[in-house]
Chain A
Amino acid sequence: MSVTQAPDTVGADAGPPPPASDRARAERRLGWYLAGPAFVVMLLVTAYPIAQAFYESLFKYRLTDPDAREFSGLGNYLVVLSDGVWWRAVGVTVLITVITVAIEAVLGFALALVMHRALTTLRPILRTAILVPYAIITVVSAFAWFYAFDINSGFVNSWFSWVPGISENTNWFGEFSTSVTVIIASEIWKTTPFISLLLLAGLAQVPDELQEAAKVDGATWWQRMYKVTIPNMKAAIMVALLFRTLDAFRIFDNVFIMTQGANNTEVVSFLAYRQTISRLEIGLGSAVSVLLFLCVVLISFLFIRLFKVDLASARGER
């Protein structure tokens, strides 16, 4: 997207062009009537819980001691932000997010290319096969990975004991590095299909004429990839990365099933869960949830600003 396009986008969103005809105004009103109900529903299901969480986060409030509820202002945020536990959880979450998204982007792109190039007869089977992990419920896949690597019930140790560093006595969930490796591996296995599907859609949008023109000009496969394919599917790549980053940042199930946060593998969502659900400290838990929400907003903002993603063009509207 070029810089000159930006004012157009802003202008279209921000308000009516100066001379608005009656007809244009009527159309806009109709647009609001049509979109209005959906907008209200959106507010109810998303804005209301967020507002409620923010309100709760201003109190010291324990579910089993409702009489002691007291207003504490931003005290809960102070407690959270000044605690090493929070920052460690943020660190672990960022680590998991960066590694999984980076590996998934490469793997997903490779799979998308395979699916794109596959023979027509093979394509449906290939796509189904690649999509299977994504179809499995996360908790179920987390259990499967946990049992595979568990020192008592797992088969990984006995199958791969010939690999240096793995023996019958390797306790995968006994320390940070190995626990987080299994968590990351299961996350990658589970969600690479999602990213590859989004990238496949992007690949399909690259015009064949451009590829052919580049070929006629004598461009190699790599040159075509860098100069034609990737620039033309930039929006799709960014949307895929954005969605996966947000998803990875909210990781919960794998950690919950595999380590319960032991060995410092606690992530932000799990921290929020523990304060709210285990400790029943509604105020403190809400503060963590609100901070998690702000992190997600920040990530979206950074992606859209820094990478200049144009969601409208990614959806094929322009």
Chain B
Amino acid sequence: MAYLFHTDADRAQMLASIGADSVQQIIDQQVPQDVQLQRSLNLGDAAGELTLESEMRRLAAQNSSASSHACFLGCGAYDHFIPAAVDEIASRGEYYTSYTPYQAEVSQGNLQVMFEYETLITQITGLAVSNASLYDGGSAATEGVLMALASVRNREKVITSEAVHPEYRDILEAYLKNIGATLVTVPVGDNGDSSAIISAIDEQTACVLIQHPNFLGRLEDVTAIADAAHSKGALLVQSFDPISTGLLKRPGDLGADIAVAEGQCLGNPLQYGGPYLGIMACREDLVRRLPGRIAGQTTDRRGNRCWVLTLQTREQHIRREKATSNICSNQTLLALRATVYLSLLGPEGLRETASHCLRKADYAKRRITASDRFDIVHDGPVFKEFVVRDRSDDVDGLLRHAESQGILAGVALGQFDPSMNDCFLVAVTEKRSRDDIDRLAAVLSDAPCRSAVASA
């Protein structure tokens, strides 16, 4: 049956060795009768490989995807190009069917990959230490805040801004609710400057969480916010876009104490949101507060250089009642993919990918606004995402129309902020061709209109 081994002869021999008549007898000796399930689980019949395959192909074909459509969706998950070597390496069973490197001697492959990953993350963040990864960009932002709360004594205030990904802020709120921290969310002014955040920072502030480039693609004045936080004894946690470091100053260079990111963009598939890769790096002096696993270098009894899990509250060794984080895993396979990806790109490849995103986004902006129906909401620089206003205020109809034309045109922003009901967010990666962008602009401008465009 499926993946089972034992033949009737095996079973008979095994039961004889155990000294049991049947497996049912082994169960009855341990599981009280009154809690045993007296029926079969209602999960349908077993399905063979061929049946499952044809079913899944049908089911997969019911979904649109970045394979069937030109994808201009972002919000923290991006359709970047993944070189073939990434898939090839990550599909090796020695990587994907191994487990946590509890036995270093037979896990040197994974441990060295973790160490290389950590090094690469310090290189793209400009910070001294990285862990071996967390669940995703959203929970990593929250873990960064928890880490700051644990590092800065006797302060309970956490400041963030509406320009941080709304889902990240939801996670933060859920985590902070029961632990006596106060969350202050600063609204974003139309001009997008940092004065509101800076004036909210006081002596009670443990940390500030910002995103740069922010949720709407705009650039924040990180250095000014970092200086303001530091002058009041608070820490700065910056959520960043790893691809952007090909062009933009790194979190560490801007004064961030802790940097977090969604690493999906580094060679990992979209997969409807997961599994993803939570990146986290910090200043050297915060290392003992860093959650999650960390691989470090040492030597073995023969003097060979090697790698081990270190500074670790391993699952079995967590300081049970004193933990500030309960994370006892990491996303090794996704970290491996990110490691291979960054090795293939190198400094020039990362710079090139970032500049293609930047310049194609700028081109898309200009093409879309060639139609009177659309405005770009914000002036000022963006990296690979920008907000478009539909002056006929029919974003849902517009996006549905684009879907029917083979384009995933953007994300409706009304779902996050009712005041942005007439806006959508467009993301442009290096994968979008000139033809994709031209078609996007054409489809948007030709879309049927619910109402005539209000005269400007």
**Chain B associates with chain A:** no
